[in-house]
Amino acid sequence: AVEVGGDDKEVVREYFNGTGFQRWKKIYGDTDDVNTVQLDIRLGHSKTVDNVIKMLTDDEDGGRPLRGVTVCDAGCGTGSLTIPLAKEGAVVSASDISASMVAEAERQVREALADDAGGELVMPQFKVGDLESLEGKFDTVVCLDVLIHYPQSKADAMIAHLASLAERRLVLSFAPKTLYYDLLKRVGELFPGPSKATRAYLHSEKDVERALEKVGWRIRKRGLVTTQFYFAKLVEAVPAA
């Protein structure tokens, strides 16, 4: 297994089982009790989810290309991606370091299942655990907005591990490190708000690409989602050979 995290990881686990869970459940939900910034992040994140579904279904000629395809949703949160994937007929293995997140994702899937008149939804398998403890082989591995919790020094090992689980493709999203966003982040660090409980790490696309190339993968598609307060670079990688 790859060792990642140290203190960071324990802090992240605690955060996403506590205040972070409450905060992100609200952001990823559909209730009205969100402020302008949270609403903006909700919108940005939902665009990322839509883009991923498009990426994973685009290159096939119609039908339901994800039907029966094994997908690992690594760091699944409240199931924002797990549920649309399961509705597309994918056989999803979803996991998260936070037990609270996994319980909420399971609850939302049961709710979706109750509404699933056509009976198309395939029940995902859920597990509490960190990315490093993931095992097995999946057609597709997806890891959305989790790299923000990994410093670049740990990100390479995390990306290599996820690639080793994927047979055909790996989809990653991360907050891009550009001068402008770096600056924004530094300003944020000067004035930390009360809800800033974890460190946020930005990644340059070049660094992510290099980490993929090191283990024999290449980027096939790229996307960028930005709203006022949400920035995500999206890459789909495939084995280079």
Cα–Cα nearest to 66, from 77, 79, 80, 81: 81
Burial of 63 (0-12, 13-18, 19+ CB in 10 A): exposed
- How far apart, in Å, are the Cα atoms of 236 and each of 3, 50, 52, 169, 215? 25, 14, 9, 7, 15
Work out which of 44, 108, 121, 149 binds ligand SAM, going by CB under 6 A.
Answer: 149
Per rule CB under 6 A, count of chain residues that contact ligand SAM: 20
Provide the mask over 2-21, with x wherever binding to ligand SAM is found by CB under 6 A and - wherever it is not.
-------x--x---x-----
The amino acid at residue 226 is T
Restricted to residues 31-60, the positions that interact with ligand SAM (CB under 6 A) are none
Please report whether residue 75 would count as binding ligand SAM according to CB under 6 A.
yes
Restricted to residues 105-134, the positions that interact with ligand SAM (CB under 6 A) are 130-131
Residue 142, SS3 per DSSP: strand
Work out which of 88, 106, 145, 156 binds ligand SAM, going by CB under 6 A.
Answer: 145
Give the residue nearest to ligand SAM (CB).
Answer: 77
Shortest distance, position 61 Cβ to ligand SAM, whole Å: 28
All residues at 6 or more sequence positions from 31 whose CB lies less than 8 Å from its CB, including other chains? none
Report how far residue 35's alpha carbon sits from residue 28's, in angstroms, rounded to the nearest whole number.
13
Work out which of 41, 42, 77, 138 binds ligand SAM, going by CB under 6 A.
Answer: 77
Which residue has tokens 């839509």?
A: 50
Judged by the rule CB under 6 A, the positions of this chain that interact with ligand SAM are 9, 12, 16, 24, 28, 75-77, 80-81, 96-98, 101, 130-131, 144-146, 149
